[in-house]
Structure 1
C-alpha cells in the first residue's frame, strides 16, 4: 500500500511539473468584466477598431497580453492595454485567454470589390515580389496554429486587421517572430492590405 501511495504521489507531482499552470475559465469570465467595454460581453467588439477576442487561440492571446504588460519596453506598446495588462498576474492572463478562447466567434462579410484580390493574396501571395501567402501560416480557413501561437484570423474586423498590417509595415508593432509579418507587409500596397483584411473578415 505504501508503494502504491508513493507512486501516486510521484505521478501527481510529475503532472504538476509538466503542466504548471491550470486555467480557470470561470475566473477568466470574472476578469473579463474590465475588458467588456471595448471587447464586448461575449468577446465580440462592437467597434471595428478593436479586435474580436471570442474563439481566439489562447496561446496567442496570452502572448499578446504579456507583450502589452511590458509597456514602452515591449514590442507592442499600447497605453490603454498596458494600463489593464500591468495589473494581471500570469495566472490571470492564462484564465482570461482560456475564457475568451472558449467563446463562439462570428464571421462578417467580404466586400465584393475586394473579394478577388483579397482571396488571391491570402491563398497565393504574390510570387512576383516573393510575398508569402497568408494561408501558409494562418491556414485555409484562417484558424491559425495553436502550437505556434499563430492567431485565428477568421471573421476578424477588417478595420482592425488593416490597422495591424499598417502597424507591422511601419514597425509600430514589432512583436512578430523573426520579423515574419514585417517582411511580408512591407511589400504590400495599401489596396492589397485593405483587400486581404476584407477577405479575412468573411473567411470561415
Structure 2
C-alpha cells in the first residue's frame, strides 16, 4: 500500500497539482518548525548562498510538492530511487524524513508568506553557438518574454507571469528574484533529466531540452532581477 500511495503522489506534476485542494498549512506553526531550514535557506526564506534556493514567496502548493517529492525520494531504497519521479536533493538527505504531512504543509505556508528579496541581474555577455558574444540581459529578456520560435522554446511568461511572480494558485512558482546560480542549475538538471518531478507532461524538461548553455545563463541572470 505504501508503494502504491507513494507512486500516486510522485506522479502528480505541476499541472495535476492545480486540481487538488489548497494546502492546509499554518504559517505560524511553520515558523516554529523552520529553524532546521534557516541554515541553508535563511530564517526568512531568503538564502545568502546562490546554490541554495530562496523559498520566500514561492507559493504553498509548489513548496509542498517539492518537499513531498524530496521526502519521498529520501525514504526510498537505492533501487527504488532509480525508478521514481521524486526529487533528489543530496543536501536535504534526512532533513524531512521524520516530518509529517502537516509539518510540510506548515513549512510551506510559512515560507510562502515571506517576502522575496531580489537578487538582481548583472550586465553580462554570453557566447552563442555562432561564437558571437551578445548582450546577456537582452537575450534573457527576449527568451523570457517571447521564447525562441526557431528552436521551439515557449515564452516563460505563460506559466511564470510577465513579472516573474508565477501562478501561485496553479502551483507554478515565483521566479522573480531567485538566485541566478540556482535557476541555471535547475534548468541544466531538467535538460539532463536529472530532475524529473515536473509531471507526466514533462513541462520543464521539454522546455529546457531546447535551451543551449548561453540561453540558460542569460535567462537565469535576467530572472534574478525581474520584478
Distance 2:159 2:102 in 1: 28
Q: Gaps (5+ residues) in structure 1? A: 1-18
Distance 1:129 1:155 in 2: 27
Q: Does 1:167 align with 2:178?
A: no
3-state SS of 1:112 partner: coil
Q: Does 1:193 align with 2:205?
A: no
Q: Deviations over 1:153-174 (max 9, x none)?
A: 0000000000000000000000
Once the two structures are overlaid, the 10-residue window that deviates more, 117-126 or 140-149, is 140-149
Q: 1:21 to 1:186 in 2, by over 3 A?
A: closer
1:121 match: 143
Aligned residues: 187
* Stretches of 4+ aligned residues off by more than 3 angstroms: 19-22
Q: Deviations over 1:101-150 (max 9, x none)?
A: 11111112212232100000000000011111111110001111122211
What is the RMSD computed on CA atoms of the aligned residues?
1.7
3-state SS of 2:34 partner: helix
Query: Structure 2 length as normaliser, TM-score?
Result: 0.78
Q: 1:175 to 1:21 in 2, by over 3 A?
A: closer
Q: Does 1:133 align with 2:155?
A: yes
Distance 2:123 2:151 in 1: 25
Distance 2:203 2:212 in 1: 17
Q: Does 1:183 align with 2:199?
A: no
**Alpha-carbon contact 1:145-1:152 (below 8 Å) kept:** yes
Residue 20 of structure 1 deviates from its aligned partner by 9.1
3-state SS of 1:38 partner: helix
Residue 21 of structure 1 deviates from its aligned partner by 6.5
Q: 1:20 to 1:111 in 2, by over 3 A?
A: closer
Mapping 1:32-111, distance limit 5 Å? 32-71=34-73, 72=81, 73-111=84-122
**Alpha-carbon contact 1:70-1:82 (below 8 Å) kept:** no
Distance 1:129 1:21 in 2: 37
